Amino acid sequence: MQIGYARVSSIDQHPEMQLDALKKAGCEKVFKDEGISGATAKRPGLVRCLKSLQEGDRLSVWKLDRLARSLRDLVSMIEEFHKRGIQFRSLTEEINTSTPGGKLVFHIFAALAEFERGLIIERTREGMKAARARGIRAGRKQKLTREQIAHARRLINEGQYRQQVADLLNVSRSTLYRTLVSR
């Protein structure tokens, strides 16, 4: 069975162009999401579409960006389709995983996505390393200043309960404990 999926990002966009192209391409059933950004993970039409796909089916989309939020998501979806025996077709980019040429194009995309992931990881590590060298701490801003931590230690050493000190500093007891242990 040929199944289509269409998505428009905003309410003032209309899916008719995509729906017409999918019907013309032979889609017997078409799922759609309207007014939902591709960056949104929760797309009810896509969820229903993916659940309906069975071995031997082919999913068609008007354009690649209608289906996936990123190249990584697209590669992951197509790999899952392959495992389940589902073919994929993008009308605009003319990618069809049922043909050798379409498979080649997809594998090139997958290699590019893997390369991109590697570059992102490498840049992130280098950026974190440079930031640490400049004395910048990564992560969330600390809830307690160094002065507050020193004051908390003095109070605890003088016999105050940790819960009382945490209440005084307006943090949870676990936050106080984590801060005292880590510094």
92 φ/ψ angles, rounded to the nearest 5 degrees: -70, -45
pLDDT of residue 101: 87
Q: Listing from the earlier edge strand, what are the strands of the sheet with 2-8?
A: 29-34, 2-8, 58-61, 87-90, 95-96
pLDDT of residue 12: 58
pLDDT of residue 27: 95
Model pTM above 0.75:
no
Tokens of 120: 């992102």
pLDDT tens for the chain, 183 residues: list them.
999 999 887 665 778 999 999 999 999 999 998 877 666 668 899 999 999 999 999 999 998 888 887 777 888 888 899 899 999 999 988 888 888 888 888 788 778 877 887 888 899 899 889 988 998 877 778 889 889 999 999 999 999 999 999 999 999 999 999 888 876
Q: Is 96 helix (H, G, I), strand (E, B) or coil?
A: strand
Q: Among residues 9, 10, 37, 52, which one is catalytic? A: 9
DSSP secondary structure letters along 109-161: HHHHHHHHHHHHHHHHHHHHHHHHHTTPPPSSPPSS-HHHHHHHHHHHHTT--
pLDDT of residue 39: 67
d(CA 42, CA 127): 32
R_g of the chain, CA atoms, integer Å: 26
pLDDT of residue 99: 87
Q: Is 9 in the active site?
A: yes
59 near 88, Cβ under 8 Å?
yes
Report the 10 Å Cβ neighbour count for 54: 11
pLDDT of residue 10: 67
Tokens of 91: 């009308």
